[in-house]
Chains A and B, each alone.
Chain A
């Protein structure tokens, strides 16, 4: 019963203050804190796709992919490879019974290349064999002759050539031209942010098993329905002939939102045709080479301020490096526009974005989903203005933070803005003005070592920007012994969705956590799901689950009233496994109540549904109310730069974050810290590089570095802002998945601050990541 005792301890005994950072002065909300999967994780007993017991006769797949970035396939020879012992079959596009198409938003992506290839790593053929080794051997014997065509890797160049994946978008508010003519100061420039590899530790993979004419797929995906749809389409089956099941993911971060589909569709194809179980787990090298990353962006900005440093006008043009197919790029592009002004009120704005087609792997979702790319640019514009005007960026930032009643360029009017609240709390509680003075002193005393600081605000909208995706369902069974099992559309990928949902079920029925169980995410139990993305998973699925639990609860109360003649008594509640009426305990336990209902033939199962109210967006006018609510925060990042070597370290990060009424402080804190470090990685060491010919240089983990334990800030403090929370958030506990990543943007500007202390004449360069190479360049080049 170790599990029980552990849960019990976590539930009732954990001293939050003790386990949280000592700097968190404010007591954390009294609620469950922890990750319910952790006890299995630490024992290595959690199951991922590659850990499932294999069926006898399982075959293994490998992909033969394009060696060139752009070209026409003249000839493909697989005969020799087919002769390799153990090879069951080599599939090309000709073997696809349904449609050779996996494009989601735009139908522009074949599963297996037909006449042309558009990036290095594009799948051309699928090899299926009795062992991964045999498949690998065969792969080396496939020959392809390709007539090479010119490749484009830069989005600006693609735009010049008219290579767009999707129509361009423009958000406008106020009269931008007139506003610029009124500005006292105008600054313009360019910015770049690099791509980012997800490095989910569990590589992409899927395992398909044929079952009486239908296909059962175990997939490491954030979007089971996407996988189901893609596989059905490729196989020419209807969706009810494809069942997708997900236990959990070893990390996703957006990389398995759309891009888990190809591998699942491939094994489904092979399993369906060969009538055998087929598995494909990508090697890290294949994963790095064949899957898309965070979008790199090239951008232009123009910012106008009045004499009081109020931003009067802002104009930005974004050139998104979308890669070779649309994938989720149009949606990512949209979020760039939504977040292009971050936490700042800009009365006159013109924001334009182009989805550029290049010859690299299709770029895809990554935590923040275009938001960070937009925020970096306005942060750069403000930094530029501050430097030219001889003021601190903070002087401009603080004057322009969002206030209630102000409008975003997309038409939504903000209410319950915590932007200034987080900002001022951070400055006051962390004594930032004092820290600034200390930095000045340190810099005066050290010639070859300089410190820097930057305060980074974040305002992130919660909801899928595509309104129709904001709905979810849950299926709840109360078993006759009183235990509860339920399913939702949420995928657990480390973010704690399962834990929060178990908390919902337990709370709605007044049970302990060990009395409820969350099942795998399965398309036959919960259908037509939106992917676990957009930070919306716990809210959407939690509210659907709440609905289902509520239905059962009401049925139980009805039978109780009937049985006990309690018709007149209101205020029935389920708490601590007992029924309460008007706060007094009845002689009826949960289990007795369930058994009673069962004998009375009451339905103890329910399907719940939730669709976010109020939200809407008109893509013609580019105006509306797309977000259920916004999450706010501010992070102060402090760093030290070694001005001899161009290396650096982060001394501290102080965060004030708006969690609303956090329902799980441990999980939420983990999201903030993890997001922060991922964001710092994106801004500093994660240097994704392609050659001009479209070859990925960062094709191994020895060539692409993510933060290790010594690379993270020495100190991270997180203050939970005392805010009400939104009623659109489950239990008013605001979601935490994506917003903290954008705190990392402050890393770039903190480093810049230190660099300028050494070399006040350093070039103006808004080109992330700030690698040691760029730092050394800025330190010593004028």
Chain B
């Protein structure tokens, strides 16, 4: 049984916990404002708000209901467009109407839901924040400019005084029942029943890979939502190490100051990482276990020289992430083991950490090549610290062992970089596919690795970089 609130209505359903929430919304409940478009989390026409009870308050995030397992709705408040509608248009809806931000209308409810959810924060959101809430919403008609104008207007019109839920209800942004939700969720907020004994359950994170790749399998298997395993959540710092629970979502990681301090803010890592509804759902562990040769988190953690903790009936073991991937989608993991955490030593101040990714579309796209590097160059221009990873250039997410061992301890010079690139080209084995030809991926990785070094040694003359590319 999964129990939750759908808008202002309590739902108790025996539907499969691994099935998609959208099926229940549209087919069982007949709420047709939420649209089915891609079943991949690629367009957010199916966006709903998911409210979770935290410290007596309900915190809302937009998510893609087409790939959200029903199990993850347990104890939460699910809001569809029908749960936002009032007798008058809300200011969000009115702005979209007035600015001509809706043409065929199929994507529109998703935009309204995402934008309405973005208002439910402690602080009055600005234009950029509102825009970010719809970074996963695709529209094929408008070209977005009218939607931008609507967002501009919403941002300008938002009252400044007493910002918060009460005000939003009073001003007609949201129905009043929202204020009753903490109490209602409190009453049902208990974890689901344990999964069937004698069978290894499918460990379910956000579902953003599993429900795309194997929806039927998940729908017909016992599932264990990792979000119900509190031990796996959160980011913490311990003795100079950063430890991240496998069930931590991308959004939670983005909000961690410890983790953010590691990243180069100019790289816009989280901006390049899928879209906000997907970041709200997807977990760090899910990204690592999916074993995609091009997972953005995987590439990032490889260059942080991370270790992972695997937990099973026999206890816990720790191993370097770079030894975890054996072959295409093959990992050093037993079926009964699950990923508990990923951890790494927080790099010293002098280390430059860089993440690079190029995809056909800049946002919400899978990389042609992604790569990360941790580089420290000493006063004698010697490369003291170096970790380098690359995705999309082999069957597994790669730690570039040979390139690293060639360069580490050497002088940062044109000649050495040139040789390193040659070593790297020997080490990688990209294939041609939908994301580019093998030749392109080789060329692109070279460019991106040079971009890492440009960041680590900005005093290097541009001309040197240019020469290296020839």
Whether B141 pairs with A674 at a CB distance below 8 angstroms is yes
Contact string, A702-717, partner B, CB cutoff 8 A, digits 1/0?
1101111111100010
CB closest residue in chain B, given A42: B93
User: CB within 8 A of B140: which of A34, A678, A771?
Assistant: A678
Residue pair A771, B360 in contact (C-beta under 8 Å): yes
| Interchain CA distance A201-B143 in the complex, whole Å | 14
Tell me whether A284 and B434 are in contact (CB under 8 A). no
Contacts A710-B135, A776-B440; A250 near B105 (Cβ below 8 A): yes
B-side contacts of A202, CB under 8 Å? 35, 37, 104, 106
Does A17 count as interface, using CB distance less than 8 angstroms?
no
- Category for how many chain B residues contact A: 35 or more
Using known A-B contacts A493-B104, A494-B103, A670-B100, determine if residue A776 contacts B443 with beta carbons closer than 8 Å. Answer: yes
Residues of A within 8 A of B96 (CB): 38, 42
The residues in A between 431 and 478 inclusive whose CB is less than 8 angstroms from any CB of B are: 447-448
Contact between chains at B103 and A685 (CB < 8 Å)? no
| Complex interface bits, A244-271 against B, C-beta within 8 A gives 1, otherwise 0 | 0000111111000000000000000000
Complex Cα–Cα for A697 and B360 (A): 14
**B3 CB-CB contact with A under 8 Å:** no
Interchain CB contact under 8 A, B131 and A644: no
- Tell me if B143 and A712 are in contact (CB < 8 A): yes
Q: Which chain B residue lies CB-closest to A46? A: B105
Cβ 8 A contact of A702, one of B40, B93, B356: B40
A35 within 8 A of B: yes
CB pair B447–A645 under 8 Å, yes or no, is: yes
Q: Are A251 and B106 in contact (CB under 8 A)?
A: yes
Cβ-closest chain A residue relative to B463: A447
| Cβ-closest chain B residue relative to A51 | B32
Contact A44 B81 (CB under 8 A): yes
The verdict on B317 contacting chain A, using a C-beta distance below 8 Å, is: no
Cβ contact within 8 Å between B140 and A41: no
CB distance A39 to B100 under 8 Å?
no
Q: Decide: B450 and A201 in contact? CB cutoff 8 A.
A: no
B42 and A251: CB pair below 8 A?
A: no
Please pick, from A42, A285, A705, the residue contacting B112 in the complex, using a CB distance under 8 A.
A42
Chain B residues with CB under 8 Å of A702's CB are 40, 42, 212, 365-366
Say what secondary structure dominates the interface of chain B: loop
- Taking CB atoms, residues of chain B closer than 8 Å to A645 are 356, 358, 444, 447-448, 451
Q: Is B87 an interface residue (CB 8 A)?
A: yes
Segment from B144-152, B374-382, B423-431 that makes contact with A:
B144-152
Q: B99-118: which have CB < 8 Å to A?
A: 99-109, 112
Could you tell me the distance between the alpha carbons of A126 and B103 in the complex, rounded to whole angstroms? 33
B65 to chain A, nearest CB (A): 13
Tell me, in angstroms, the Cα distance from A2 to B147 when the chains sit together.
22
Q: Are B450 and A644 in contact (CB under 8 A)?
A: yes
* Chain A residues in 8 Å Cβ range of B37: 201-203, 284
Q: Is A685 a contact of B360 with CB atoms below 8 Å?
A: yes
Please report the C-alpha to C-alpha distance between residue A44 and residue B87 in the assembled complex, in whole angstroms: 13
Whether A48 is near chain B, meaning CB under 8 Å from some CB there, is: yes
Q: Does B389 contact A (CB under 8 A)?
A: no
Tell me, yes or no, whether A14 is within 8 Å of chain B by CB. Answer: yes
A448 to B460, CA, bound (A): 14
What's the Cα separation between A780 and B444 when bound, in Å?
11
Mark out the residues of chain A between 697 and 749 whose CB falls within 8 Å of any chain B CB in the assembled complex. Answer: 697-698, 700-703, 705-712, 716
Question: Looking at the complex, which one of A21, A251, A494, A711 makes contact with B362 (CB distance below 8 Å)?
Answer: A711
Whether the Cβ atoms of A34 and B32 lie closer than 8 Å is no
Which residue in A200, A703, A776 is a CB contact (below 8 Å) of B444? A776
Chain B residues whose CB sits within 8 angstroms of the CB of A708 once the complex forms: 135-136, 138, 144, 275, 361, 363-364
CA distance A75 to B348 in the complex (A): 67
Q: Give chain A residues whose Cβ lies under 8 Å from the Cβ of B326.
A: none
Q: Who on chain B is nearest to A666 by CB?
A: B100
Interface residues of A in 631-690 (CB under 8 A from B): 644-647, 649, 666-667, 669-670, 673-678, 685, 687, 689
**Bound complex: CA A386 to CA B360 (Å):** 29
B85 within 8 Å of A (CB atoms):
yes
How far, in angstroms, from A773 to B469 measured CA to CA in the complex?
A: 15
Any A CB within 8 A of the CB of B192: no
Inter-subunit contact A674/B103 (CB<8 Å): yes
Q: Is the CB of B454 within 8 A of A644?
A: yes
**B249 an interface residue at 8 Å Cβ cutoff?**
no
Q: Nearest Cβ distance between residue B391 and chain A, in whole angstroms? A: 15
Interface size on A, residues (CB 8 A): 85
Q: Does B82 contact A (CB under 8 A)?
A: yes
The answer to whether A42 and B146 touch across the interface, beta carbons within 8 angstroms, is: no
A41-56, CB under 8 A of B: which get 1 and which 0? Answer: 1111111101101000
Q: Is B97 an interface residue (CB 8 A)?
A: yes
The residues of A that contact B275 with a CB separation of less than 8 Å are 708
Q: In chain A between 754 and 782, which residues have their CB closer than 8 angstroms to a CB of chain B?
A: 771-773, 776-777, 780
- Is the beta-carbon distance between A673 and B143 smaller than 8 angstroms? yes
CB <8 Å contact, A448 and B140: no
Residues on A with C-beta less than 8 A from B341 are none
Contacting pair B89 A199 (CB below 8 A) = no
Give chain A nearest CB distance to B113 CB in angstroms. 9
CB < 8 Å neighbour of A773 from B135, B141, B437, B448: B437
Check A283 for interface membership: any CB of B closer than 8 A. yes
A666 and B102 CA atoms in complex are apart in Å by: 11
CB of A19 closer than 8 Å to a CB of B: yes
A496 within 8 A of B: yes
Closest B residue to A251 using CB positions? B104
B104 touches A248 (CB 8 A): yes
* Most-contacted residue by chain A among B144, B147, B148 (CB, 10 A): B144
> Which 6 pairs from chain A and chain B are nearest by CB?
A44-B33, A494-B104, A250-B106, A41-B105, A677-B143, A494-B103
**Residues of chain A having any CB pair with chain B under 8 Å:** 2, 6, 10, 14, 19, 21, 33-35, 37-48, 50-51, 53, 198-203, 248-253, 281, 283-285, 447-448, 493-496, 644-647, 649, 666-667, 669-670, 673-678, 685, 687, 689, 697-698, 700-703, 705-712, 716, 771-773, 776-777, 780
> 12 pairs across A/B with beta carbons < 8 Å?
A41-B102, A44-B108, A200-B140, A202-B35, A251-B141, A493-B104, A494-B105, A496-B103, A702-B42, A703-B434, A716-B145, A772-B368
Known: A42-B94, A251-B104, A284-B40. 12 other contacts (CB 8 A): A35-B102, A42-B97, A44-B33, A47-B32, A201-B37, A201-B43, A202-B37, A645-B356, A649-B362, A670-B142, A674-B143, A705-B359
